[in-house]
Amino acid sequence: MMLQSLTVLDLTSGLGAIAGRMLAELGATVTKVEAGAGDPQRADAPAFAAWNHGKRSSTADLATLVPQADMVIRNPGLDHAALLALNPRLIDVVLAPFLPGPNRNRPETDLTLMARSGLMAIVGDPDRAPLTMPGEQAHALGGIQAVIAALTALRHRRATGKGQLVEVSAYQAAVLANYREPLTWEWTGRVGARTGNLLVRGASGVRQVWRCKDGFVTWALVDNPPMMRGMVTVMGDAAGPLAEVDWNAILVADTPRPVLEAWEARVEAFFLERTRAELGELSARHGLGLSWIDAPADVLASPHLAARGLWREVDGMKLPGRLWVSSLDAPAPSGHVPGLGEEDA
């Protein structure tokens, strides 16, 4: 694997932990450095396993470990000059909530980072409070950017022989993921609004998520005449006024919302009488552009995802496995959850 000669010390706790796991997946030897009773995240065993499996654990002091390392991934608090004195070729990657500046010492959580990024402002229904996505998304986005920065610094060191200080902001990483709203503000001065279950195009909006007999599917009335005619065909008599529409002669995006709601009521009734599998089969046969939505239990039980190697058994827990697969891959790193200080034995 491409990083099999790389030795990484992971000093993170929560924020940035996924960066070490990603480097381990790329073949690096990643040692989680812990002190005292270990990383506080160990109190949440499933979360600790998800972010840290495939790493090693050591309680040795940094003066012993740093001289042998290629890279350190950490949160703020250590002196870069002191680390560099131990190893001038060290790549020191610091993942912080905010970059040095007026926000540097502000308290933060993944939730507050997501809120400040603007991502939460556009997630959820317009008539209620904003939502955040499940899991620690800002922490994960920051970890991904930290890996990109670390690999860039590694390339620089190979060309120059010099180590580097790399600083990454989880807040900025979340803003980068929110590509639409910052640009909308910059170009128009408008703050985006939550649209909930409506896909807004043109002067109107169309529903995207629908309840069916055994769950949910995603589909929308769109300006795609063959797809619309296919839906009318499969609905038969249930299509009602939809069967009278000349789909080549209208723009769904500019159709008044009350008209769309009347059409969508017909579709809703049709979907409620059929299962996800039945609707999926109709979509595949007639080109409807419909997909069913898996619940967590469906994802865990999916033979398709199992065949693709999505899951890995980690100390009795079922967790996401390889982050990527290549024809050049060596065997996957261990899925073992590191015991505190096991490398010191």
Residue 144, φ and ψ in degrees, nearest 5: -65, -45
* Spatial distance between the Cα atoms of 283 and 305, rounded to a whole number of angstroms: 21
Which pLDDT tens digit goes with each residue over 170-192? 999 999 998 777 888 888 888 77
- The residue whose two tokens read 């009318």 is 232
What is the average pLDDT across 78-106? Answer: 92
Contact criterion met (CB below 8 Å) for 94 and 168: yes
DSSP code for 78: B
Whole-number pLDDT of residue 239: 96
Examine the pLDDT at 250 and tell me if it is beyond 80.
yes
Q: What's the whole-model pTM score?
A: 0.83
Tokens found for residue 108: 């933060």
What is the average pLDDT across 149-175? Answer: 93
* Spatial distance between the Cα atoms of 81 and 104, rounded to a whole number of angstroms: 19
Q: pLDDT band at residue 106, thresholds of 50, 70 and 90?
A: confident
- Position 141: which residue type? L
* Spatial distance between the Cα atoms of 111 and 120, rounded to a whole number of angstroms: 9
Residues 16/43/6/145 CA torsion (nearest 10 deg):
-10
What is the average pLDDT across 242-262? Answer: 93
Examine the pLDDT at 63 and tell me if it is beyond 60.
yes
3-state secondary structure (DSSP) of residue 152: helix
- Position 52: which residue type? N
Tokens found for residue 12: 């993170």
**Residues paired with residue 311 on neighbouring β-strands, in sequence order:** 320
Which pLDDT tens digit goes with each residue over 271-285? 999 999 999 999 999
Q: Where are the domains of the chain?
A: 7-180+314-344, 198-293
Whole-number pLDDT of residue 326: 67
- Position 80: which residue type? H
CATH topology for 7-180+314-344 is Rossmann fold (3.40.50)
- Dihedral sign, CA of 41, 136, 91, 326? positive
Q: What is the CA radius of gyration of the chain?
A: 25
Tell me which residue of 203, 188, 217 sits closest to 290, measured CA to CA. 217
Which pLDDT tens digit goes with each residue over 190-226? 877 788 888 887 778 899 999 999 999 999 999 999 9
Q: Is CATH 3.40.50 the classification given to domain 198-293?
A: no
Exposure letters 17-46 (e unless 16+ CB within 10 A, then b):
bbbbbbbbbbbbbbbbbbeeebbebbeeee
Ramachandran assignment for 10, one of left (phi > 0), alpha (psi -120 to 50 degrees), beta (any other): beta
